[in-house]
């Protein structure tokens, strides 16, 4: 049996575009004389469709799109995901189409309702496994979480004679997830002694990134075919003949970098923005953001603005110009000094002679945010915020200042990982000046300022943050790992009291199993303290 793995990048809500892409690949599969082509979970609607599922017209239109795909599927079989409405209930479903006829509709039996998943809000669980006959082969059907559940549909399907299992997915990315999937697929294939065909989405959807990595295992648990990560692909595999030797997934830095590129590119282009804008400070966060934007979108779509104050060092000028020149991005300069002085003059009677403090620092950040948003309004450019996860977690950022923007590319990237990615990128092509990487991080909002005036060193802060945010460890448990207890208490307190800021932050690509956004739902009004 020759099977096509249709690893596609659908757009949520674009029923016409998604179905047209599916039909194009069906035509290609027919030309290649494939017996069956398999597409991902909810590929007709895009994933996750969220509250679009509450619109009756959307459900009806999705059904019409399925019927259009079925009519186009003459001469081969197709398995793809859609939303099925039956007796008033909605199901995360998949249709098995053979020679233009919908032969079977499978309802997902195990609905995830943890982390970024909220499927029980919309769907009812299925209760029936499905086996279909195709070209003399018995094929079992399943969707995503069905393969993770210990009591999924596959044992019954294999008992009914299935020796090929199809599992279609919308499995979001986090670092290392593709290796977890591979290990699970091999285990399931060997356990059930059946070939497993696993097809995943690729692309960005708001905060989520889908990395693809579709694959096939034979009944002995050997990987015999795999699609690239972060790339649309129609890969054909012959279950009897194909073998895969020495396959390797992307290494960590490249995997993360490609995830960021995918999330950024799709957020910008799927939302109809032609160009982006960011503030380039001479620091490492904005330099890495600029490099990502130039590679994801092309340098001609990227604009950078340097906004110096009386506290801006000459090194910042040099480094900002250098990284912009290395990337071929034009750099505009708009000083904030006079506007800042005007603010202070106007506010002087209200400040009643009080000494300068964080207020004056935040004013500078907000002037810069105003400049960026003015350019965004005038030219229709999307502003990219440049803050990282370490800053976002501790509140070391300014509302309506450096947090201003439509998309935060580094939102789930800790500061130590920012340095790691910059060094990795420079090995590929040196674009970020070494002076930026070696310089002590600074917001340059007062004389001689560095981040470590307020925060612990990032090599201390980041593992504490990871333990607290991603692993849900208590302060006592983190201190028991060898960290200074007062430092842990300070970091935990900063994270807890910064929730109101994070609620107002722009979305950004999810890289970790628990990112701020869909994964993190703490109350703002919250009196629980450890």
Report, as residue numbers or ranges, the catalytic residues.
41, 108, 144
The number of angstroms, rounded, from the C-alpha of 502 to the middle of its chain's C-alpha atoms is: 17
> Rounded to whole angstroms, how far apart are CA atoms 416 and 422?
10
CB 427 within 8 A of CB 421: no
From residue 490, alpha-carbon distances to 142, 361, 456 in Å are 47, 22, 9
Both tokens of residue 238?
């012959």
- Strand ranges in 273-395 using DSSP code E only, listed in sequence order: 276-279, 302-306, 331-333, 382-385
Query: How close are the terminal C-alpha atoms of the chain, in Å?
Result: 59
Task: Decide: residue 93, CB within 10 A, 0-12 exposed, 13-18 middle, 19+ buried.
Answer: buried
Q: What are phi and psi of 308, to 5 degrees?
A: -75, 155
> Rounded to whole angstroms, how far apart are CA atoms 270 and 274?
10
> Rounded to whole angstroms, how far apart are CA atoms 441 and 3?
52
The answer to whether the bond into 48 is cis (omega within 30° of 0) is yes
Helix axes 252-270, 284-297, angle to 10 degrees: 70
């Amino acid at each position: 049996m020759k099977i096509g793995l249709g690893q596609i990048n659908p757009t949520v809500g674009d029923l016409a575009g998604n179905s047209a892409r599916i039909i194009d690949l069906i035509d290609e599969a027919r030309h290649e004389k494939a017996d069956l082509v398999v597409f991902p979970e909810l590929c007709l609607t895009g994933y996750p469709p969220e509250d679009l599922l509450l619109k009756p017209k959307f459900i009806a239109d999705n059904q019409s799109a399925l019927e259009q795909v079925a009519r186009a599927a003459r001469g081969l079989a197709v398995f793809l995901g859609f939303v099925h409405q039956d007796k008033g209930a909605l199901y995360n479903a998949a249709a098995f189409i053979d020679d233009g006829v919908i032969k079977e509709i499978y309802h997902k039996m195990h609905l995830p309702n943890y982390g970024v998943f909220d499927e029980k809000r919309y769907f009812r669980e299925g209760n029936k496994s499905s086996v279909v006959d195709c070209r003399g082969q018995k094929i079992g059907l399943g969707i995503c979480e069905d393969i993770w559940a210990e009591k999924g549909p596959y044992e019954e399907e294999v008992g009914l004679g299935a020796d090929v299992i199809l599992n279609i997915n919308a499995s979001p990315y986090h670092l290392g997830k593709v290796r977890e999937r591979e290990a699970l697929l091999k285990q399931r294939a060997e356990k059930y002694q059946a070939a497993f065909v696993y097809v995943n989405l690729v692309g960005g959807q708001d905060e989520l990134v889908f990395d693809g990595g579709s694959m096939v295992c034979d009944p002995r648990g050997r990987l015999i075919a795999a699609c690239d990560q972060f790339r649309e692909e129609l890969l054909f595999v012959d279950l009897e003949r194909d073998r895969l030797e020495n396959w390797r997934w992307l290494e960590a830095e490249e995997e993360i970098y490609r995830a960021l590129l995918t999330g950024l590119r799709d957020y910008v282009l799927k939302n109809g923005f032609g160009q982006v804008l960011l503030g380039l400070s001479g620091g490492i966060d904005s330099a890495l953001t600029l490099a990502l934007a130039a590679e994801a979108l092309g340098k001609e779509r990227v604009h950078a603005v340097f906004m110096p104050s009386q506290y801006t060092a000459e090194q910042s000028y040099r480094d900002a110009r250098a990284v912009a020149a290395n990337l071929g991005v034009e750099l505009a300069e708009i000083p904030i000094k006079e506007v800042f002085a005007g603010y202070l003059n106007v506010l002087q009677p209200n400040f009643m002679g009080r000494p300068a403090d964080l207020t004056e620092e935040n004013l500078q950040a907000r002037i810069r945010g105003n400049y960026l948003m003015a350019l965004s309004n005038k030219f229709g450019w999307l502003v990219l915020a440049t803050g990282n996860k370490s800053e976002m977690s501790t509140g070391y950022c300014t509302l309506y200042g450096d947090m201003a923007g439509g998309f935060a590319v580094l939102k789930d990237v800790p500061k130590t990982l920012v340095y790691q990615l910059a060094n990795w990128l420079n090995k590929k092509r040196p674009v970020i000046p070494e002076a930026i990487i070696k310089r002590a991080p600074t917001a340059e909002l007062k004389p001689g300022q560095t981040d470590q005036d307020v925060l612990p060193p990032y090599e201390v802060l980041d593992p504490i943050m990871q333990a607290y945010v991603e692993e849900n460890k208590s302060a006592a448990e983190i201190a028991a790992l060898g960290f200074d207890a007062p430092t842990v208490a300070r970091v935990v307190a900063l994270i807890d009291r910064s929730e109101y800021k994070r609620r107002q932050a722009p979305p950004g690509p999810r890289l970790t199993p628990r990112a701020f956004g869909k994964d993190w739902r703490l109350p703002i009004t919250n009196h629980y303290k450890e």
